[in-house]
Chain A
């Protein structure tokens, strides 16, 4: 066999291997989605969206979990976005170089990899007990904020770092202060990356279960939470609760709730993707 032929075969083999790998991922996801949709799509109706949980599967609904998730989403964003972006700006633009900051930097990056249940334990001790928030929405949102802060900080820093030096110099050379340069040049130029990071981390936050269970989110909430101090549940916990019931009807409820939760995260990811593409097209240096 000539060398050319052997190279050709190796090339083709690898190509097929890569195709197989891609197909494996896509097909498993499609299978899972198909299965869930088959089970649950028929269950999604107005009654399901607006009912409180019930011990009868056909009367149960997700309103309390859905509203709980929205509360968590909004409160987490309100807490985590300013703190995360602010910390990112400080670390990237103001903090000088020193051993101490190198140490901070490594730790913040490491924090992004800490298992979420550890954050739950921290939240339980600090927010729920020490700060007396109990198992409230606020305690849950504070805990999830801690969880996604490292991601937002890193996204902010990376996006600021990607802004070309020439833009900073241009602004400084015209007599701009550091804050004016950050606010009028750097943040707009970096906003695509920052917003993408925020949305993706929030999408992750609303899928979290473990830290919220530890903080004290309830499995059964027969009311719609109306203030940050209310007790609450969120969709992943509701789903988990339904799946662990023996009745077949609850499995269908769970499938329907999974579809809703997936829809929310897909929409958020979609927005992030759209924003990033638009930003990439707009800004070319």
Chain B
């Protein structure tokens, strides 16, 4: 156990000279980036700039796309995540993901949350109950749904569904949380709640969030990465990027000259 906790302290996510191709399309061009721990990093950039593709490299969600190819290395905890001896399931328990559109399973609220534990073979009812309560509390959903745990998750509102999806991811205790435009399908109030939640999560997690919304990036992130045409153009502390960007193209994007 002592060894394990040491490992947790050293958890790090480093990408080096990563290139991604879809068939002949060169969609990520020589990107290197080190994720700062226990902080929120925002990926911004115009549509098609590769920010979502890059995010999905970290939990190998691009593997299912036809013609996908990558070179360069992505190291998590000192291990190349694209090497043959990596266990994909283990990797994904450590690096969780929340998607653009809320995608709860067509099951009860309860079953949605314990799914990640059930597939690991956890059967202890008391433990599962506890996880459901604690994760729902973490995402500020417990008060709203504690009487509907046995009801279908599809009956919840969009904002509630998205928070449920986050709770479901937290239940397997990841150390990194990837969020792919998590608020793009939500109304402003749900978005505000979700941002507050993400802010809370960074105490224990490293959060990487892709967003189309520059105000959102400015509000919640510690560091911001600006992608353009598959290249990482700038990666700086958020405050600096939004007040005094290094690159002219960043300046043009964040002031709304294109996008």
Would you call A167 an interface residue if the criterion is a C-beta within 8 Å of the partner chain's C-beta atoms?
yes
User: Which stretch from B2-10, B13-21, B73-81, B164-172 is at the chain A interface?
Assistant: B164-172
Contact A185 B89 (CB under 8 A): no
**Complex interface: chain B residues within 8 A of A176 (CB):** 89, 115-116, 119
Which residues of A104-161 are within 8 A (CB) of B? none
Q: Is B45 an interface residue (CB 8 A)?
A: no
- B106 / chain A contacts, CB cutoff of 8 Å: 167, 188-189, 282-283, 285
- Measured CB to CB, the closest approach of chain B to A120, in angstroms, equals 41
Closest-CB distance, A168 to chain B (whole angstroms) = 8
Closest to B112 in A: A170
Q: Does B59 contact A (CB under 8 A)?
A: yes
Bound-state CA distance A177–B104 (Å) is 18
B92 touches A175 (CB 8 A): yes
Q: Are B172 and A174 in contact (CB under 8 A)?
A: yes
**Identity of the chain A residue whose Cβ is nearest the Cβ of B152 in the assembled complex:** A282
By the criterion CB–CB under 8 Å, are A173 and B96 in contact? yes
Partner of A173, one of B61, B90, B154: B61
Q: Is B240 an interface residue (CB 8 A)?
A: no
Q: Which of B99, B115, B168 contacts A169 (CB 8 A)?
A: B99
Q: Does B208 contact A (CB under 8 A)?
A: no
Instruction: Give bound CA distance, A184 to B119, whole Å.
Output: 9
Within 8 A of A (CB), among B81-116: 89-90, 92-93, 96-97, 99, 101, 103-106, 115-116
Contact A174 B96, CB 8 Å, known A97-B66, A184-B119, A284-B154: yes
A175 adjacent to B172 (CB under 8 Å):
yes
Query: CB-nearest residue of chain A relative to B101?
Result: A166
Q: A172 an interface residue at 8 Å Cβ cutoff? A: yes
- Inside 8 A of B92's CB, which chain A residues have their CB? 172-175
Contact assessment for B61 and A172 in the assembled complex, using a CB-CB cutoff below 8 Å: yes
B148 to A: closest C-beta gap in Å: 17
Q: Is B120 at the interface (CB under 8 A from chain A)?
A: yes
Among A175, A185, A188, A285, chain B packs the most CB atoms within 10 A around the CB of A175
Within 8 A of A (CB), among B164-182: 165, 168-169, 172
Complex Cα distance, B96 from A162, in Å, reads 25
A180 within 8 A of B: yes
Residues of A near B154 (CB, < 8 A) are 284-285
CA distance A138 to B104 in the complex (A): 45
Contact A185 B169 (CB under 8 A): no
Residue of B nearest to A173 (CB): B97
The interface residues of chain A, by DSSP majority, are classed as helix
Give B100's nearest chain A residue, CB to CB: A166
Residue among A168, A174, A283, A285 facing the most chain B CB atoms (10 A cut-off): A174
Contact with A along B58-70 (1 / 0, CB 8 A): 0101001010000
Which residues of the other chain, A, contact B115 by a CB distance below 8 angstroms? 171, 174, 176, 184
Find out whether the CB atom of B90 lies under 8 angstroms from the CB atom of A175.
yes
Q: A167-B105, A169-B61, A283-B106 are in contact. Are A174 and B119 (CB under 8 A)?
A: yes
A97 to B119, CA, bound (A): 28
Task: List residues of chain B with CB within 8 A of the CB of A166.
Answer: 99, 101, 103
CA distance A172 to B92 in the complex (A): 8
Residue in B64, B104, B105, B119 whose CB lies within 8 Å of A175: B119
Whether A174 contacts B168 by the Cβ 8 Å rule is: yes
Contact A175 B103 (CB under 8 A): no
Please measure, in the bound complex, the distance between the C-alpha atom of A168 and the C-alpha atom of B92, giving whole angstroms. 14
- Known pairs A175-B116, A285-B154 / 9 extra A-B pairs, C-beta < 8 Å: A169-B61, A169-B103, A170-B103, A172-B92, A173-B92, A174-B92, A175-B172, A184-B118, A285-B106
Which residues of chain A have a CB within 8 Å of any CB of chain B? 97, 164, 166-177, 180, 184-185, 188-189, 282-285
5 tightest A-B CB contacts, nearest first:
A166-B103, A175-B93, A174-B116, A173-B97, A175-B92
18 A-B pairs within 8 Å (CB atoms) are namely: A166-B101, A166-B103, A167-B105, A169-B61, A169-B97, A169-B99, A170-B103, A170-B104, A173-B92, A174-B93, A174-B169, A175-B90, A175-B92, A176-B89, A176-B116, A177-B119, A180-B119, A184-B119
